[in-house]
Amino acid sequence: MTGKEAHYMYKAVMDEHLSGNGPFTKQCQHFFEDRYGFKKCLLTTSGTDALEMCAMLCDLKQGEEVIIPSYTFVSTALAFLREGAKVVFADSMKRNPNIDVELLESLITPRTKVIVPVHYAGVACDMDAIMDIANRHNLLVVEDAAQAIDSYYTSHTTHQTLPLGSIGHLAAFSFHETKNITAGGEGGLLVVNDERFIRRAEIIWEKGTNRAEFFRGAVNKYGWVDMGSSFLPAEINAAFLWAQLENLDEIQSKRKQLWDTYFNHLKPFADKGCFQLPDLPEYASNNAHMFYLVLPDLEKRTTLIKFLKEHDIQSVFHYLSLHSSAYYEDKHDGRQLPECERYADTLMRLPMFYDLETEEVEKVCGVIKEFVANRE
Ligand SMILES: *Cc1c(COP(=O)(O)O)cnc(C)c1O
């Protein structure tokens, strides 16, 4: 919380517009469109919902294929699976958990329709390479930018710096409480960059009706015209989000300061080979969504998490591979995804949130230093 969240929620209540698409929703959507140049923004009740809208907009036929990294949250895959698509899981890079573009082209078949890059930890995927492959094969690109608010990609070819979420045809952000900014616990954003999808996105958002066109005066009554669902958040959530957006720069600068403190204190141990630190390719900016370590093996990660816990520090590992999950294992084509498995076994996240203090980060680093010293 940065100060005005409860105030704006109270205002939403007193102004008596509580259902979706009210003044706070519109204000938030315009903020994103203005600040990041996104063509059309629609707030959703979660990042998962925004991904589900993306999947619906891709208009997949049964069995068409969608390429998704295996090292991601369940929702990335589930959104497309529910539309009848076949999910083809891709491996991560050696240098960071993002999708390995070197392997991407070998996964494309005549049935491939969509590529879903996930900007893990808010760090950009290699979007020039991904957009180039997508253009050559006539594929859609949906950015899972759930962790990537206020993060950027610099193109190798045009040298332009572009906000993540503005590059693919569609993108999804999350405002869950674990992300950099939150809409009061749960929330998300659909971004439509390709104008062909705007009209249908508004219809899907409003339960399959052309209500948006009716309110603009484009039609004189509204009705059921397509598929859809109820994807709009309540105004109370948009009001909470608005308070966070007013302080976005402050939130981001605090997070980056914490991130840098971790990095500077832990770099010497990474240089000695104790663990790998977050990797920022030359084309990626840092939105300080997460600070993670990659340990040499599972046993070392388990003991470090335990050691931190003994010092009252909560650290957690992250995704389990989706391709070998209980739900998907027998649907997967059997390919090994070694980098994904490595991150599943060895990546761990250190505390990172707006209220955290620099001294606390230093304390965490001190405990890690002690752990390393004990094992030398
Ligand atoms: C958080 C997250 C989601 C889901 O967002 P929710 O708002 O929790 O539904 C999807 N993909 C990734 C990569 C995420 O980190």
Q: What is the 3-class SS of 158-191, one letter each residue? A: CCCEEECCCCCCEEEEECCCCCCCCCCCCCEEEE
- Averaged over 35-64, what is the pLDDT? 98
Count the Cβ atoms, other than its own, within 10 Å of residue 154: 17
Q: Measured between alpha carbons, how far is 89 from 67 in angstroms, rounded to an integer?
A: 6
Closest residue by Cα to residue 352 from 344, 343, 361: 361
- One-letter identity of residue 274: C
Examine the pLDDT at 60 and tell me if it is beyond 80: yes
- Averaged over 65-86, what is the pLDDT? 98
Please give the number of the atom of ligand 1 that sits closest to the Cα of 72.
Answer: 13
Percent of the chain with pLDDT over 90: 96
Residues with Cβ within 8 Å of 344's Cβ and at least 6 positions away in sequence, in order, are 71, 317, 318, 319, 320, 321
Q: Measured between alpha carbons, how far is 54 from 61 in angstroms, rounded to an integer?
A: 14
Q: What are φ and ψ of residue 270, in 5° steps?
A: -65, -40
- Averaged over 39-65, what is the pLDDT? 98
Closest residue by Cα to residue 140 from 50, 81, 67, 44: 67
pLDDT at 115: 98
Distance 47 CA to ligand 1 centre (A): 5
- Averaged over 222-247, what is the pLDDT? 97
Q: Measured between alpha carbons, how far is 62 from 368 in angstroms, rounded to an integer?
A: 49
Helices 235-246 and 248-271: crossing angle in degrees, nearest 10, is 70
Predicted confidence (pLDDT) per residue in 119-143, tens digit: 999 999 999 999 999 999 999 999 9
Distance 75 CA to ligand 1 centre (A): 7
What's the topology of domain 248-374?
Aspartate Aminotransferase, domain 1 (3.90.1150)
CA angle 355, 244, 350 (to 5 degrees): 35
Please give the number of the atom of ligand 1 that sits closest to the Cα of 46.
Answer: 7
Which DSSP string do the residues of 225-280 spell out, in sequence order? -S---B-PPPHHHHHHHHHHHHTHHHHHHHHHHHHHHHHHHHHHHHHTTS-BPP--
Q: For 366, what's the count of Cα atoms within 13 Å in the CB-facing half-sphere?
A: 7
Closest residue by Cα to residue 57 from 229, 230, 201: 201
What are the beta bridge partners of residue 68? 89
pLDDT at 7: 97
Distance 320 CA to ligand 1 centre (A): 15
Distance 186 CA to ligand 1 centre (A): 10
Q: What are φ and ψ of residue 42, in 5° steps?
A: -130, 120
Show the ligand 1 pocket: residues with CB < 6 angstroms.
46-48, 72-73, 75-76, 118, 144, 146-147, 174, 176, 188
Average of per-residue pLDDT values in the chain: 97
Task: Please give the structure tokens belonging to residue 220.
Answer: 């004189």
Examine the pLDDT at 215 and tell me if it is beyond 90: no
Percent of the chain with pLDDT over 70: 100
Examine the pLDDT at 376 and tell me if it is beyond 80: no
What are the beta bridge partners of residue 191? 41, 171
Distance 146 CA to ligand 1 centre (A): 5
Q: How confident is the model at residue 98 (pLDDT cuts 50, 70, 90)?
A: very high
- Averaged over 83-103, what is the pLDDT? 97
Say if domain 5-246 classifies as CATH 3.40.640.10. Answer: yes
Exposure string for 90-102, b = 16+ CB within 10 A, e = fewer = bbbbeebbbbbbe
Exposure string for 160-182, b = 16+ CB within 10 A, e = fewer = eebbbbbbbbbbbbbbbeebbbb
Which DSSP string do the residues of 280-292 spell out, in sequence order? --TTB------EE
Q: Are 173 and 25 in contact (CB under 8 A)?
A: no
Which DSSP string do the residues of 320-353 spell out, in sequence order? PPSTTSTTTGGGS-----HHHHHHHHHEEEE---
- Averaged over 337-352, what is the pLDDT? 98
- Averaged over 270-298, what is the pLDDT? 97
Q: How confident is the model at residue 368 (pLDDT cuts 50, 70, 90)?
A: very high
**What are the C-alpha distances in Å from 213 to residues 20, 46, 199, 220?**
16, 24, 9, 9
Name the closest-CA residue to atom 6, ligand 1.
47
Q: Are 71 and 97 in contact (CB under 8 A)?
A: yes
Examine the pLDDT at 285 and tell me if it is beyond 90: yes
Q: Which of 48, 49, 54, 289 to mutate to test the pocket of ligand 1 (most atoms within 8 A of CB)?
A: 48
Name the closest-CA residue to atom 5, ligand 1.
47
Domain ranges of the chain: 5-246, 248-374
pLDDT at 2: 87
Q: Are 174 and 188 in contact (CB under 8 A)?
A: yes
Distance 51 CA to ligand 1 centre (A): 9
Name the closest-CA residue to atom 14, ligand 1.
146
Task: Please give the structure tokens belonging to residue 182.
Answer: 């939150």
Examine the pLDDT at 357 and tell me if it is beyond 90: yes
Examine the pLDDT at 66 and tell me if it is beyond 80: yes
Q: Measured between alpha carbons, how far is 176 from 120 in angstroms, rounded to an integer?
A: 15
Q: How confident is the model at residue 1 (pLDDT cuts 50, 70, 90)?
A: confident
